[in-house]
């Protein structure tokens, strides 16, 4: 299990900086504008995740063989990455909204 978890995070690191940067910027806007911006920022996050997905799938397709050879399919990699990224997004959103209005 530890080996597969390390593989999941290795895959996430290939686009994690961009994705986490987008989450931090979204949290800043939530801190600035409050709960009213949540729906727009959520859809912005989903759209940017889709763009990242298509970029990785088209331009880094050869890397998927590395993970397949180690026993981790592309679908599992993406499911883990999206769940992890959205969890981080919602945690940052909760933190930003808890400081809104103080």
Planar angle of CA 63, 72, 50, nearest 5 degrees = 60
Write the secondary structure of 8-47 as one string of H (helix), E (strand) and C (coil): HHHHHHHHHHHHHHHHHHHHHHHHHHHHHHHHHHHHHHHH
> What is the pLDDT at residue 102?
56
Residue 1 has pLDDT above 80, yes or no: no
Q: What's the gap between Cα 89 and its chain centre?
A: 7
> Over the stretch 19-54, which tens digit does the pLDDT of each residue have?
999 999 999 999 999 889 999 999 999 999 999 999
Model pTM score = 0.89
Q: Spell out the residues 6+ positions from residue 99 whose beta carbon is closer than 8 angstroms to its own.
A: 31
The residues spanned by each domain of the chain are 11-99
Please state, rounded to an integer, the average pLDDT across all residues of the chain.
92
């Amino acid at each position: 299990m530890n080996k597969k978890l390390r593989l999941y995070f290795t895959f996430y690191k290939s686009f994690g900086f961009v994705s986490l940067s987008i989450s931090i910027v979204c949290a800043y806007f939530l801190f600035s504008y409050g709960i009213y911006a949540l729906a727009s920022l959520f859809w912005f996050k989903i759209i940017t995740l889709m763009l990242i997905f298509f970029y990785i799938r088209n331009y880094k397709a050869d890397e998927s063989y590395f993970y397949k050879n180690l026993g981790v399919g592309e679908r599992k990699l993406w499911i883990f990455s999206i769940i992890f990224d959205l969890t981080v997004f919602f945690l940052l959103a909760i933190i930003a909204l808890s400081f809104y209005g103080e």
